[in-house]
């Protein structure tokens, strides 16, 4: 399967005008500007690769869906020196079975996400292990398998 192409089809949605509650504070504004000034093709590790300054933590479901193909691309391009998989798993597992994205995704998007998580388990386990994320991977798979 071409994971990037398939994700583009399933998560094809117009780019939101804003991604965060940009009027809330400087941090929200900064994260919103990062996401507004990028797009699904251009956003990369420079914008999303720092877990301590991650604009996706503040994104509403609509923005997460818009950028999902970029997350797939970043995960597939992860390597021992640079990986997005930890952050991807965090966003998909936060709040367990009440994860806001499991609730916002269509059934088809949920199914794709579960298949992609299993694909990562099969093809990127060395990187996942290197970063110490095996437990988070399997708990995330469990969450998405239950929706």
Per-residue pLDDT tens digits for 39-95: 999 999 999 999 999 999 989 999 999 999 999 999 999 999 999 999 999 999 999
Nearest CA to 128 among 143, 140, 115, 113?
A: 140
**SS3 state of residue 62:** helix
Q: What is the pTM of this model?
A: 0.96
For the chain, the distance separating the N- and C-terminal CA atoms, rounded to the nearest angstrom, is 23
CA distance 129 to 88: 15
Quick: pLDDT tens for 9-18.
999 999 999 9
């Amino acid at each position: 399967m071409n994971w990037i192409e398939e994700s583009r089809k399933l998560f094809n949605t117009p780019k939101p005008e804003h991604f965060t509650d940009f009027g809330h504070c400087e941090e929200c504004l900064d994260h919103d500007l990062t996401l507004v000034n990028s797009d699904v093709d251009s956003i990369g590790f420079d914008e999303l690769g720092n877990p301590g300054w991650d604009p996706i933590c503040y994104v509403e479901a609509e923005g997460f869906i818009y950028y999902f193909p970029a997350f797939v691309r970043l995960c597939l391009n992860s390597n021992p020196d640079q990986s997005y998989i930890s952050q991807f798993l965090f966003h998909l597992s936060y709040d367990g079975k009440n994860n806001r994205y499991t609730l916002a995704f269509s059934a088809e998007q949920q199914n794709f996400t579960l298949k992609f998580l299993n694909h990562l388990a099969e093809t990127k386990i060395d990187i996942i292990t290197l970063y110490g994320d095996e437990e988070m991977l399997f708990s995330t798979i469990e969450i998405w398998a239950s929706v």
